[in-house]
Amino acid sequence: MIRKTFALLITAGLVALPALAEAGKARTATGNYNTIMITPEEGSPSAEGHYSNGVKFKLRPGERFVSLSIADEAGQTVRATVGQDYDNDGKTEHEHEFCGSTTEPIKLTPGAPVIVWAQEGQCADGTTSLATFGEVTATFTR
């Protein structure tokens, strides 16, 4: 009986080891964006500008933070907004802005996808951001 219990504990421990090792690892995912030029219709108060498609990342169970960086094909620093859509209505409720890369991980709400939009404009340091097309890299941690 003691041997069976001991063997069972060792087997359970061996099965749990990969899960424990996975818990401390980061997961990296990438997605591509491109921008389009929007010209307002005549008489419209909207401004002309460049807008990117949103790069969407799905969270895996246990992922609670994300660090982001953008590599634009033009080689410029790109300003971006990142958010989560908690209620699946197509609008983000939790938004952060960054230029080039996040300075620290962003806390996430489990289950809600993360969406990143490259933007034109200016970064906080005065650098001009004019996104063309490129890649967003997301590093998820627990």
Residue 10 resides in a domain: no
Residue 89 resides in a domain: yes
Instruction: Give the pLDDT score at 30.
Output: 98
Instruction: Give the pLDDT score at 138.
Output: 98
Residue 8 resides in a domain: no
- Nearest-10 Cα torsion for 88, 26, 76, 106: 50
What's the helix, strand, coil split of the chain in %, to 5?
Answer: 15, 45, 40
Residues of the chain where predicted confidence (pLDDT) is lower than 70:
1-24, 37-51
Instruction: Give the pLDDT score at 2.
Output: 55
- 100: nearest Cα among 76, 116, 130: 76
Residue 47 resides in a domain: yes
Instruction: Give the pLDDT score at 25.
Output: 87
Instruction: Give the pLDDT score at 20.
Output: 43
Residue 52 resides in a domain: yes
Dist CA 119 CA 121 (whole Å): 7
Total domains, the chain: 1
Instruction: Give the pLDDT score at 68.
Output: 98
Q: What CATH number should be reported for the domain holding residue 96?
A: 2.60.120
pTM of the model: 0.74
Instruction: Give the pLDDT score at 107.
Output: 96
Instruction: Give the pLDDT score at 44.
Output: 53
User: Which range marks the domain in which residue 98 is found?
Assistant: 27-141
